[in-house]
Copies of this chain bind each other. A is one copy, B any other.
Amino acid sequence: MKKEAVNLDKREQIKHRKRERLKTYMMCLSCECKSKPETEYSHSWPHGGIFLKEEAKNGLNSKEVEISRRKEKMDYVYAPGRNHLFVPGPVNIPEPVIRAMNRNNEDYRSPAIPALTKTLLEDVKKIFKTTTGVPFLIPTTGTGAWESALTNTLSPGDRIVSFLIGQFSLLWIDQQQRLNFDVDVVESEWGRGANLDVLESKLASDTSHTIKAICIVHNETATGVTNNLAKVRQLLDDYQHPALFLVDGVSSICALDFRMDEWGIDVALTGSQKALSLPTGMGIVCASPKALEASKTAKSVRVFFDWKDYLKFYQMGTYWPYTPSIQLLYGLRAALDLIFEEGLENVIIRHKRLGKATRLAVEAWGLKNCTQKEEWVSDTVTAVVVPPDIDSAEIVRIAWKRYNMNLGLGLNKVAGKVFRIGHLGNLNELQLLGCLAGVEMILKDVGYPVKLGSGVAAASAYLQNNIPLIPSRI
């Protein structure tokens, strides 16, 4: 084999090596994604399971699982040094937050927990930039927060406009359809933002106000696209349309500029494991007075997610219709304290800085950003397009197997085509530069002719001019 290789020219050699490598994963890729492709609007991550499925095929049988469990009570797949966690959630938890959650359970009906909850409900509004909204800290995930937003404000059959621009907006739309709403799907090419022109024409023609809600993902985590929410509000105002404005802020709130009151958002939501940098387990939903009013007549069946139960206990001063996670409450307290200490505006500026630095590195590598226009670039996640002869899943795989780093896979339509760098939450510049240096080595590993150091140089040239002094240390 090596013999043959010698005769190929450089470019061919690279391709050849690529093919050799790809063979290893071919079975999985082809059977799951190419031969038997998921339906386009499927609610799953076709490539999400790539690693495990392979292992299943290679036979991580029950005996081996047993061994690996015994071998590693403490950690399943230990590697020296820190794990470099650069998926766009769950993100790194800051040490003070880990500490705050390191505790025994408490009786949530004793006076301590309501007193704590009261401060949380008050302070969490600040990260939504709302004074009139009412927040709900629901023991669930982002998917549950979506369901809470929809079922509390809408009735089955209600017409809604929803934008399909990537895997997460797709999943939300799938949920909307399964909850029996009548969804006008406005699709864009993946890598582009929500098509607001279509929205405008729909609003213009909807003089009878059949559209009950506009559902939009602020930041599409699959493609690194940030939508213009102010513009959506502008259109609603222009046409004096009363539709509810529901926003998935999962990968934006606490990281990107987000203004619930100013932009007239009716329900905004996020998950604890994103920019708040907590463990998963708390879906944070914030409802405007208009949304609360709508919830009184919304006919969607709901119990666990029903705001009514929360509001009843809010009034009673005990706050919880069912048991909350004591640990997450103390964790949220610590997370908010850290955010307020840094300053929410500074947090947002830090994300701008990290986003810009990442994009400069991608450019220096000669690669494309999945986001097709500057107006949509995301400061929390960058989806990097790889050349056609490279499988982006291999990049993610090597990151984990060789560099103790986690990058995000390309999902669904962009599976194999992009890998994602999450740069949100409690993260700083040197962490990001370590990641970028790692990506460069991986690009070389997979045969892409990157100039080592080029991305780091571009990013650090920008950062060196823009990182402020740490206020507590001046």
Assuming the contacts A52-B317, A74-B96, A474-B401, asked whether A65 and B434 have C-beta atoms less than 8 A apart, the reply is no
Interface presence of A69 (CB below 8 A): yes
Interface presence of A389 (CB below 8 A): no
Interface presence of A201 (CB below 8 A): no
B-contact 0/1 string along A324-364, CB 8 Å cutoff:
11111000011001100110000100100000000000000
Least distance between A65 CB and chain B CB atoms (Å): 6
A75 to chain B: closest residue by CB: B96
Assuming the contacts A452-B461, A472-B77, asked whether A114 and B428 have C-beta atoms less than 8 A apart, the reply is no
- Number of this chain's copies in the assembly equals 4
**With A and B bound together, what is the CA distance between A119 and B65 in angstroms?**
7
Least distance between A145 CB and chain B CB atoms (Å): 9
Interface presence of A70 (CB below 8 A): yes
A464 to chain B: closest residue by CB: B441
Interface presence of A140 (CB below 8 A): yes
**Residues of chain A in range 91-125 having any CB-CB distance to chain B below 8 Å:** 91-96, 98-112, 114-116, 118-119, 122
Interface presence of A79 (CB below 8 A): yes
Assuming the contacts A114-B49, A142-B323, A401-B473, asked whether A81 and B456 have C-beta atoms less than 8 A apart, the reply is no
**With A and B bound together, what is the CA distance between A90 and B472 in angstroms?**
22
Q: Which of A116, A156, A179 has the most CB of B within 10 A?
A: A116
Q: What residues of chain B lie closer than 8 Å to A10, measured between beta carbons?
A: none
In-complex Cβ contact of A51 among B53, B111, B403 (8 A) = B111
A139 to chain B: closest residue by CB: B141
**With A and B bound together, what is the CA distance between A94 and B74 in angstroms?**
11
Least distance between A249 CB and chain B CB atoms (Å): 16
A104 with B98: CB separation less than 8 A: yes
Assuming the contacts A90-B106, A323-B89, A460-B441, asked whether A473 and B82 have C-beta atoms less than 8 A apart, the reply is no
**With A and B bound together, what is the CA distance between A342 and B431 in angstroms?**
24
In-complex Cβ contact of A404 among B271, B338, B428 (8 A) = B428
